[in-house]
Amino acid sequence: MIDLFSGLDAWVLVSLLLALTFVLAFEFINGFHDTANAVATVIYTKAMPPHLAVFFSGVFNFFGVLLGGVGVAYAIVHLLPVELLINVNTGHGLAMVFSLLAAAITWNLGTWYFGIPASSSHTLIGSILGVGLANALINDIPLGDGVNWQKAIDIAMSLVVSPLAGFAVAALVLLGLKWWRPLSKMHKTPEQRRKLDDKKHPPFWNRLVLVVSAMGVSFVHGSNDGQKGIGLIMLVLIGIVPAKFVLDLNSTTYQIERTRDATLHMSQFYERNAATLGEFLALGKAKASDLPEQFSCNPQQTEPTIAALQTSLQGVTDYHSLAAEKRVEVRRYLLCLDDTAKKVGKLPGLEAREKADLEKLRKDLTATTEYAPFWVIVAVALALGLGTMVGWKRVVLTVGEKIGKQGMTYAQGMSAQITAACAIGMANVFALPVSTTHVLSSGVAGTMVANKSGLQGGTVKTILMAWVLTLPASMGLAAGLFWLASKAIG
């Protein structure tokens, strides 16, 4: 990590440290903002004392980040259009990063202060979309090209579907528990347990399930939300010190050869499917010398881009041997080829087997660009884990008592937490960012309806308002800040 700071101008160094501090502050705030939801039921039901619950939740969040991979991280990064990712300069990168982080932190702190279970995921995604759209308006780019809309739609679907699924599945799990053990003590609230049984804690097995599922939610939260912080830090590093981070400089010779081979196999793939793809890719009509000086991603330049990339990687066994400008160039080629392959995979006429082959080639192609240094993962894990251990009280009360008209029963807590852990875990498998806040709070709401407890209209309305307003509010904030920053530097 030390060599990160070598040879940097003072203003770049200060900007980099500030940007990294902003990202880690966002993750710290995310810790006490979102993770309160992960421990809300286990604290409210008195299955664990608050200090132990938040400590172990922090630990499980930490390990969730460490073991979660980077799939969700780059799903977030690729919300920005490929043109913005390949052409970002230091000043532009700074404006982009500071704007989206300032917007996300402002909204997160505001909703936390009022005890509203708003989503850090929605906030971050809205901020990124706001920056992308503002960049399009400032540079006279069509709004359709200002954001990677396909990726945005995929993420939006996961954000919309996951709380609805959480509501329905948690309700069904609770109904199943009531059918299985209708007279069980697990259907009591903590208050009823204290009054009727003169006991403070849930029955042993209920307590065990509540604790294990809460830690499961914490782990998958760390895996999903922690990756968003990793993606942000990689945006910072690539935007401010591109020479050191556009490619994974620790890539082995085998990984570099795998990348080079992927371009060769991709070329063969396109030739094999020339009848279907020839017109879209202008196969056989462009040469390497046709690549414009101001490089931009264009499917019709695919053949020359492959040729230029193979030339750039010819004989390369270590990315350190490439000049800084050449590393940036290689990354541009790789991102563009991946972007084109993504578009090709959606074209009609390709067989399912061919699409599967193309997807494997894409993974090989991006193996040395979609990565995160270990110190980045540890820093985010620490920020998220430590953030978990403070500021949890406001949201715990909202989730435990203010969603339903009656307090939460042990069975409701178990149903909501098991559902949330499974839903977020599935999202991690498919590299989709989801909101722990919305999945868990909608799960609690689902159990309240299934239990015929009724919902508190005021609280539900507030949560729904936050759900609806978070995206446009964070988009507007980020866009406004980016516009001001762009004027200031340009």
15 and 70 in a single domain? The answer is yes
The answer to whether 166 and 448 have CB atoms below 8 angstroms apart is: no
Task: Please give the pLDDT value at position 72.
Answer: 87
Instruction: Tell me, yes or no, whether 84 lies in a domain.
Output: yes
Say yes or no: 31 and 168 in one domain: yes
What's at 130, amino acid-wise? Answer: G
pLDDT tens figures, 407-427: 788 999 899 999 999 999 998
373 within domain boundaries: no
CB atoms under 10 Å from CB of 3, counted, come to 8
Q: What is the pLDDT along the chain (490 residues), one digit of tens a residue?
A: 666 666 677 877 888 888 889 889 888 887 776 666 777 778 878 888 877 888 888 899 899 999 988 888 888 888 877 766 766 555 676 787 788 888 988 888 887 777 666 677 788 888 988 988 888 888 787 877 778 787 788 888 888 888 889 999 999 999 999 999 888 888 888 888 888 888 888 999 999 999 999 999 999 988 988 888 898 898 888 877 888 888 999 999 999 999 999 999 999 999 998 888 888 888 877 665 566 665 667 888 888 889 889 999 999 999 999 998 899 889 989 988 998 998 898 888 888 898 899 999 999 999 899 999 999 999 999 998 888 777 555 555 555 444 545 678 899 989 999 999 999 999 888 888 888 877 888 888 888 888 876 666 666 676 677 667 888 889 999 999 999 988 877 6
Of 365, 397, 420, the domain-final residue: 365
Choosing from 335, 365, 395, the residue where a domain stops is 365
Residue with tokens 């070598």: 6
pLDDT tens profile 422-475: 999 998 888 888 888 778 888 888 888 888 766 666 666 766 776 678 888 899
Helices 410-429 and 436-450: angle between axes, nearest 10 degrees: 140
Report yes or no: 398 and 193 within 8 Å, Cβ to Cβ.
Answer: no
Residues 167 and 63 in one domain: yes
In this structure, the answer to whether residues 167 and 50 fall within a common structural domain is: yes
The verdict on residue 380 lying in a domain is no
69: left (phi over 0), alpha (psi -120 to 50) or beta: left
Query: Is 64 among the domain residues?
Result: yes
User: What is the pLDDT at residue 54?
Assistant: 81
pLDDT per residue over 146-197, tens digit each? 787 877 888 888 888 888 899 999 999 999 999 998 888 888 888 888 888 8
- What was the pLDDT predicted at 36? 65
Same domain as 146, residue 124: yes
- Whether 163 is in a domain gets the answer yes
* CA–CA dist 419, 417 (Å, integer): 5
Whether 96 and 205 share a structural domain: yes
Please check whether residues 13 and 152 belong to one and the same domain. yes
User: What are 404's strand-pairing partners?
Assistant: 455
Q: What is the pLDDT of residue 293?
A: 61
**SS3 assignment, position 280:** helix
482 domain-assigned: yes
Task: Examine the fold and report which residue of 309, 334, 365 is the final residue of a domain before the chain moves on.
Answer: 365
Residues 6+ apart with CB under 8 A from 183: none
Q: Report yes or no on 429 lying in a domain.
A: yes
CA–CA dist 253, 302 (Å, integer) = 25
pLDDT score of 4: 64
207 and 314, same domain (yes or no): no
Same domain, 302 and 450: no
Question: 61 near 384, Cβ under 8 Å?
Answer: yes
Q: Are residues 200 and 144 in the same domain?
A: yes
Contacts of 231 (CB under 8 A, 6+ apart): 70, 72, 73, 74, 75, 76, 77
The HSE-up count of residue 239 (CA atoms within 13 Å, CB side) is 23
Does some domain include residue 377?
Answer: no
Q: Are residues 53 and 172 in the same domain?
A: yes
Domain containing 470: what range?
2-244+385-489
Q: What total number of domains does the chain contain? A: 2
Instruction: Give the list of residues 6+ apart from residue 435 with CB closer than 8 angstroms, or none.
Output: 34, 119, 120, 121, 122, 159, 162, 163
Tokens coding 273:
């499917």
Indicate the helix (H) or strand (E) that contains 137.
helix 120-138
266: Cβ contacts below 8 Å, ≥ 6 apart = 306, 337, 341, 358, 361, 365
d(CA 395, CA 118) in angstroms, rounded, equals 10
**Together in a domain, 238 and 253:** no
